[in-house]
Amino acid sequence: MGKTVAHISFYTPWERKRIARIVFALLLGALVWSFFSNTLLHQLQKPVIKFPYVDPTYWIMHYLGIPELITGNFVMACTFDTALFASCILSFMYPEKRLYCWSFIILYFIYFITFNTFGTHHTNHKIGFLFIAIPFTVADYKSFNFLWQGLRYFLLFAYADAFLWKLFRLSWLHPDQGLLIMKKNVAAFLYFEPNTLQAGLYRWSLQHPAWVNGAYLVGMLLEGLFIVGFFTRKFDHYLFILSILLPVGFYLMADANFFEFLILNLTLINFHKLFVRAQ
């Protein structure tokens, strides 16, 4: 891993507390968003079809009957959701109390698995919500800083890995790869929303496939740029902007939601400067 850590000035316990408040406020906002999305566990109406696929973690969860137990009983599901909100609020109010952070992580892990399995697709974008809380589970501020940096590497890895998969699978050489991805993912949108501006953009793209295929290649190269972050922190503010642009591209080109992963962008921010300016 990069030599960049030598240049890190560690966040102080005071700064850690403020970062925790920002993180848990965002997490609380995400939970409220889930409420309005009708995807909290008590709102799932006792789902029946599951999708553990070939992920042993999901198999274990279903073997233990945890997703079924919680969603199968309305009172249990309400209790679970209340506990999830409470752990998040308490972590926001008392960031130094690690028990609340641990509680949130365990509960959010169960929520993550249950949401994905009954949604019948393993979405990864919510993993940022789970991982971002981990650094706050340690007592000493130095370990917190190392875990926070570890999360930064995790973010860099996710994008760099996406680049490497495309590179080695040679999908960038595949004719019309970008266009075919778009066609597959926006068919329902064009059917249900044919008169919108976005549908107009897709129809224009069908007539100009070079732009869509070019956008796929540009997106791939932008993902590759995250490798730079392993060696230097100098370009973190550019990577921050890129990691906002890429989910916008995924959304427009493939109707894919990757916005929740943005929470890991916090690891690219220099909070020293931010807090000094705020003071």
Find the binder of other proteins among 28, 44, 78, 89 (CB under 8 A). 44
Stretch that binds other proteins, among 17-25, 86-94, 184-192, 237-245 (CB under 8 A): 184-192
First-last CA distance in the chain: 34
Please give the residues from 142 up to 181 whose contact with other proteins meets the rule CB under 8 A: 142-143, 146-147, 149-150, 153, 157-159, 161-162, 165-166, 169-171, 174, 176-177, 180-181
Q: Cα-flanking dihedrals φ and ψ of residue 132, to 5°?
A: -65, -25
Tell me the number of residues near other proteins by CB under 8 A: 85
Please give the residues from 92 up to 121 whose contact with other proteins meets the rule CB under 8 A: 112-113, 115, 118-121
Please give the residues from 240 up to 269 whose contact with other proteins meets the rule CB under 8 A: 254, 256-257
Helix, strand, coil % in the chain, rounded to nearest 5: 75, 0, 25
Find the binder of other proteins among 9, 195, 207, 279 (CB under 8 A). 207
Find the binder of other proteins among 25, 29, 53, 201 (CB under 8 A). 53
Contacts 24+ apart (CB under 8 A), 61-68: 61/110, 61/113, 61/114, 61/117, 62/117, 66/110, 66/113, 66/114, 67/110, 67/113, 67/114, 67/117, 67/118
Find the binder of other proteins among 85, 141, 189, 235 (CB under 8 A). 189
- The answer to whether the beta carbons of residues 137 and 98 sit under 8 Å apart is yes
Find the binder of other proteins among 93, 201, 206, 248 (CB under 8 A). 206
Find the binder of other proteins among 47, 227, 252, 270 (CB under 8 A). 47
Q: Computed over its alpha carbons, how large is the radius of gyration of the chain?
A: 21
